[in-house]
Amino acid sequence: MTRPGQEAAASARTATAGLHHVTALADDPQACIDFYVGVLGLHLVKRTVNFDDPGTYHLYCGDAAGSPGTLMTFFAAPAVGHGRRGTGLVSAVAFAVPPGSLGYWMDRFAAFGVEFEPLAQRFGDEVLAFTDPDGLSLELITAGGETAAEGGNQAIVGLHSVTMSVRDATPTAQMLTAALGLRSFGAEARRQRFVAGCGTFAAVVDLVADPIGVPGVIAAGSVQHVAFRAADDDEQERWRRILDAAGLRVSPVRDRSYFHSIYFREPGGILCEIATDTPGFAVDEKPEGLGRTLQLPAWLEPMRDRLEQRLRPLLPPAPTGA
């Protein structure tokens, strides 16, 4: 039997490959895909429902295949109200874009009426901050070494990073390094950076300490959870043992059809997930037809007619040229 001390030591030799997806809450499902697909140029790779609340959409946006590390997903639940920024939340989500592309994005945002902040520098990278229709804080970051994505050399490559805001950074930093195997990259002001792998694509977690900050409230415009990658079920089980050894309470495995999930809260209160790369989004649709029709797990198929009557039909966003 492996003792807890041995598991903790093993965690130092094991590191997650990085971010799998980020899930946020949105008020209007149509406005959500109009923005993320129509303006940002992501692909709608799956339209399904929140398995824990089937009367609401769960929409997945990413690259054309729904690759881990490219995915931003949304529980679209009208009338949930709007969240409040604060501690205990992921306070910003960043997408990676090719170097030299931010001028294009500023012109594009101006054309679509998207408000954005002046360009900033962070850890040597250019950062363009803006918000989505629900007020979720987003960023485009030109990380060195990124290559052009499909659709042109300006297109979003995938996720770059998340920013976690907590009152006390020390226990969260310990969790990121000792449990998840990320390595410290450095600090700027109150921001600490942690990276997995090469640290340029879907592999960065920024940690911001705000000792006097008010607790955030999760609703529309807030991140509900952030998911890290496990290659398969066996690797996910290894992560479970490591997280248990670190004293974190881990949920049972949940079958999300396109991946398997376990959940835990990091010491600052942010909900985290370990999601498997497999089986992927082509299990119920052909790869060339992802996201075109409502997909339901087998146990919800008997409710399809009722759910389709309840869910607002989604129209495809207009072609964007992104």
Sequence spans of domains, the chain = 4-310
Q: How confident is the model at residue 5 (pLDDT cuts 50, 70, 90)?
A: very low
Compute the distance between CA of residue 237 and CA of residue 253 in angstroms, rounded to an integer. Answer: 9
So what's the pLDDT on residue 216? 86
Of the pLDDT bands very low, low, confident and very high (cuts 50, 70, 90), residue 145 is: low
Question: At residue 322, does pLDDT exceed 60?
Answer: no
| Mean pLDDT (whole number) for 20-29 | 96
Q: What does the DSSP 8-state code read for residue 318?
A: P
Mean pLDDT over 94-116 rounds to 95
* Banded model confidence at residue 238, pLDDT cuts 50, 70, 90: very high
Over residues 71-87, the mean pLDDT reads: 85
Is 17 strand, coil or helix? coil
Looking at the predicted structure, is the pLDDT value of residue 150 above 60?
no
Residue 153 has a pLDDT of 81
Is pLDDT above 90 for 45? Answer: yes
pLDDT-wise least confident of 60-64, 139-143, 228-232: 139-143
> Mean pLDDT lowest for which of 31-40, 45-54, 76-85?
76-85
Adjacency order of strands within the sheet including 71-76? 43-50, 53-62, 71-76, 19-26, 223-230, 271-279, 259-265, 254-255
Q: Which residue has the higher pLDDT, 14 or 142?
A: 142
**Per-residue pLDDT at 215:** 87
Average pLDDT of the chain to the nearest whole number: 90
Over residues 316-322, the mean pLDDT reads 67
Q: Which two tokens stand for residue 303?
A: 């409710």
User: Cα separation of 56 and 261, whole Å?
Assistant: 20
Cα–Cα distance for residue pair 20/232, rounded to 1 Å: 12
| Pick from 5-9, 33-37, 215-219: least confident | 5-9
Reading the block at residue 98, the tokens are 């090719």
Could you tell me which of 37, 292, 32 has the C-alpha nearest to residue 155? 37
Q: Using an 8 Å Cβ cutoff, are 244 and 257 in contact?
A: no
State the pLDDT confidence band at 201, using cuts at 50, 70 and 90: confident
User: Do 94 and 70 touch, CB atoms closer than 8 A?
Assistant: no
Helix or strand holding residue 49 (H, E): strand 43-50
CA distance 46 to 281: 7
pLDDT at residue 261 in the model: 98
* CATH class of domain segment(s) 4-310: alpha beta
- Contact between residue 179 and residue 243 where contact means Cβ atoms under 8 Å apart: yes
Handedness of CA 114, 117, 122, 125 (dihedral sign): positive
